[in-house]
Amino acid sequence: MVEQPVGPQLHNVEAIQPIVSYRDNILTKVDVAWGSNVGDQGYADPYEVAARLYDALYRPDAAVEGMDSRAQAKDPEIVERELPSQKLRPDTKKVLTTPLELAGQLQDSAEFVRVVAGAILHGADVANAVLPGAREQIKELIENGDRAAAWSAGYPEHQWRKLGKTGMYAEVMEGVEPPVEISLVHGEPITVETAIATDKTVEETIARVREIAGDDQKVVADDRVRNLRKFLEAMPETKAAIWVQYGAHAQKEMDKLANGENPQLAVEIESGIIIPISNINQLASKVVELRKVGRLTAEQAVLFFDYDDTISNNALRRDMELAAAVDAIFENGWA
């Protein structure tokens, strides 16, 4: 496809808009294209994020139609109420469909999606967002004789690459092209297993959890109380559900607790159904404590850990990847 200028009047846009403001406008488009409030969980797939961003930048009047058509191509049986457009918030729609004056050139959509999705997947050193001591906690659990598995929501390739940059390896990563980079910066790779899907609480993913666990004792750690409840509901034999009180989702629950607005959670904590820890650095010692009090036996256990806001600072990691996407757009002269 031949590149076509967006419009001759747009090439002096930097003289009209300060460059910081201009870049921020592009970043806002990326941010909204990524956000879960666009519906259909497109944020989990970097390629869908890039496709939505292309439309939002270069053909905003077709942004809503584009996300619906891709959803229909992926699932011809999708019902209307499940289309992304039906879940689109008014403020989100406004950002996606408002035209920007762009200084760059309209690019072939396939090339744009390939490059921008690649920037999200490869362009940020997300290991810098891992919470202090988190990797060491997983390593200590394994050295103590237990196993570890990532139970995480997201686009599988994206989640595998995040784990790889943290120095964690799983056999399922093999065969991905380009290969998943297993970082050695933080020490020898830690071997884990993975149960990853766009929705990690669906039966298919839970079946993978059961397959990984086998007859071993199960422990789960997550920043979201609702995920812990889903895990316990699906596998009531789970020995412990550990609530890592970090990140935006955990803070909302903590605020409700403090205000007396979450009596169910208060009861769950009091009865030991949900076990809070204020810092990921307490994870391995909490498992040791559970053995001392007889909650866990001396036999091997498998710990299913969430990634985002459990062992990694989700907001920081996301900011890094958003910036990488914007950098790619400017470096290619597309804005």
Give tens-digit pLDDT for 268-305: 999 999 999 999 999 999 999 999 999 999 999 999 99
pLDDT at 192 over 80: yes
Task: Please state the pTM of the whole predicted model.
Answer: 0.88
What pLDDT is stored for residue 4 in this prediction? 34
240-244 and 217-222 beta bridge pairing: parallel
- Tokens 């809070």 correspond to what residue? 276
Among residues 157, 82, 167, the alpha carbon closest in space to that of 121 is found at 157
Burial class of 241 by CB neighbour count within 10 A (0 to 12, 13 to 18, 19+): buried
Q: Are residues 70 and 159 in the same domain?
A: no
pLDDT band at 118 (very low <50, low <70, confident <90, very high): very high
Please, is 239 exposed, middle or buried when counting C-beta atoms within 10 Å of its C-beta (0-12, 13-18, 19+)?
middle
Tell me the average pLDDT of the chain: 90
Mean pLDDT, rounded, for 80-106: 89
Whether the pLDDT of residue 53 is over 60: the answer is yes
pLDDT at 43: 59
Are residues 82 and 115 part of one domain? yes
Please check whether residues 169 and 297 belong to one and the same domain. yes
Q: Are 112 and 334 in contact (CB under 8 A)?
A: yes
Mean pLDDT of 168-196: 93
**Whole-angstrom distance between the N-terminal and C-terminal Cα of the chain?**
18
Question: Is the same domain home to 83 and 27?
Answer: yes
Confidence band, pLDDT 50/70/90 cuts, at residue 9: very low
pLDDT of 18 reads: 53
* Residues 203-247: tens digit of each pLDDT: 999 999 999 999 999 999 999 999 999 999 999 999 999 999 999
Which pLDDT score, from 0 to 100, does residue 3 have?
A: 34
Sign of CA dihedral 113, 115, 116, 118: positive
Residues 79-96, mean pLDDT to the nearest whole number: 90
The predicted structure's pLDDT at residue 39: 45
306 and 321 both lie in a single domain: no
Are residues 192 and 115 part of one domain? no
84 and 67 share a domain?
A: yes
What pLDDT is stored for residue 179 in this prediction?
A: 94
Task: List the domain range (segments joined by +) for residue 41.
Answer: 4-125+316-331
> Are 82 and 171 within one domain?
no
